[in-house]
Amino acid sequence: MFFLGALQLLLVMLPWAAEMLARLTGQALPWSWPPGWWHALLAIDGVFPFFVFGFLLTAMPRWQGYGDLPAGVFVRPWSVLVAGWALIYASALLPVLRLPGMALVFAGWAWLLVMLAPIAFRAGNGRLHAVPAWLATVAGLAGWGAWMGFAATGEGVWARVAIEVGVWGFLLPVFFTVSHRMIPFFSSAVLDDYTAFRPPWALFMMLGAAVGHGALTLLGEAPLTWLVDLPAAGLAVFLTVRWGLVRSFEVPLLAMLHLGFMWLGLALALFGVQSLAAWQGSAVLGLAPLHALGIGMFTVIALGMVSRVTLGHSGQALRADAMTWRLCWAVQAVAVLRILAELWASAQAMLLVLAAVGWLVVFGFWARRYMPVYLRPRADGRPG
């Protein structure tokens, strides 16, 4: 799962980088779908599900005291996902392949949900995080179904539903649930005199805010999302401080997770400001809040978590090397460039190119560092 996710980090951005370069030079590329919708589909559902499932298939059984799953059980659904995405990319040349490819991805995703269901709902303390994570992946499958509706009908309403459900029903709940579980846990393991702080009320409040934002937007009430965005931003800032962002810099691999989580408070604050402005009849910030969330939080946390899990499960020391640490800051620079593109209209075209190319450079170096690890035996000689 992680190998394919790492590959997707590059594949999903190549079409968008090409589109941004074409716009900068005044050219037009022959898209069979509107490029903005294509970019949204790839950014939301092209990368993160592979990392989410790769993580949950490993971590959720441990949360629930279930024991490790046999490695072979992953292979068939993974193969279905691979086949589905191969057809989706091929559909750029043969559009008739798009729906079959999406149907295969839907089937592979559903297969993984069925595998995880008995683990998620098993009695035990782990259900506090396992059940919300599983339900969020169900919402993600529903969002993917909406993308299929768009592919079948061409009606933009399906794409808008897919984006809102994908971000607010799937990705934010998953990333917050995993952060709530793992950031205090990892911090307590490496920082002296650290007490893990994981109140259930914080988890439920943020999940409610995420669902509330998505629901209000889908109901056409985006000017009212500040009612949930701003309290949620306050909670995110509180947890950023309470979980020890400053202290986390003692251990760079841990700090990567804290830095990613820091972006949540900023992103929700931007969403709140945008909503308040809309409530007063003004349109501000454009897609800046969405990219603060998507690149700032989701991508930085994914970078940190996947790097950590890859090192641990390949028998290497849990230590971020200099390159990984620099790439963590570089992807945040990409987030800043993408946000600036929404705020600096006269330089937008160039900033969009720089952000897209910057992403490819960052994850090109990251893939070069970590993808070979998935193809080698563990460094410590243990199975795997």
pLDDT: which is higher, 185 or 384: 185
pLDDT of residue 107: 98
Q: State pLDDT tens for residues 307-338.
A: 999 999 889 988 999 999 999 999 999 999 99
* Distance (Å, whole) CA 223 – CA 275: 5
Is the pLDDT score of 136 beyond 90? yes
| Nearest of 29, 148, 11, 147 to residue 89 by alpha carbon | 11
Can you tell me the mean pLDDT for 112-118? 95
pLDDT of residue 382: 83
Name which of 117-131, 220-234, 259-273 the model is least confident about. Answer: 117-131
Q: State pLDDT tens for residues 4-56.
A: 999 999 999 999 999 999 998 888 788 878 889 999 999 999 989 999 999 99
Which CATH number is 84's domain given?
A: 1.20.210.10
pLDDT band of residue 92 (cuts 50, 70, 90) is confident
pLDDT band of residue 213 (cuts 50, 70, 90) is very high
The answer to whether the CB of 168 falls within 8 A of the CB of 208 is no
Within a domain: 382: no
Within a domain: 384: no
Can you tell me the mean pLDDT for 86-94? 92
Burial call 39-59: b when 16+ CB within 10 Å, e when fewer: bbbbbbbbbbbbbbbbbbbbb
Within a domain: 81: yes
pLDDT of residue 73: 83
Is the pLDDT score of 126 beyond 90? no
Within a domain: 322: yes
Is the pLDDT score of 384 beyond 80? no
Is the pLDDT score of 212 beyond 90? yes
Full domain range(s) for residue 165: 2-375
Within a domain: 381: no
Can you tell me the mean pLDDT for 246-265? 97
Name which of 21-30, 156-165, 184-193, 346-355 the model is least confident about. Answer: 21-30
Can you tell me the mean pLDDT for 92-116? 95
Is the pLDDT score of 72 beyond 90? no
Provide the percentage of residues in the chain whose pLDDT is more than 90: 86
Q: How many domains does the chain have?
A: 1
Is the pLDDT score of 383 beyond 90? no
Within a domain: 371: yes
Mean pLDDT estimate for the chain: 94
Q: State pLDDT tens for residues 157-181.
A: 999 999 999 999 999 999 999 999 9
pLDDT band of residue 266 (cuts 50, 70, 90) is very high
Is the pLDDT score of 379 beyond 90? no
Within a domain: 233: yes
- pTM of this structure: 0.95
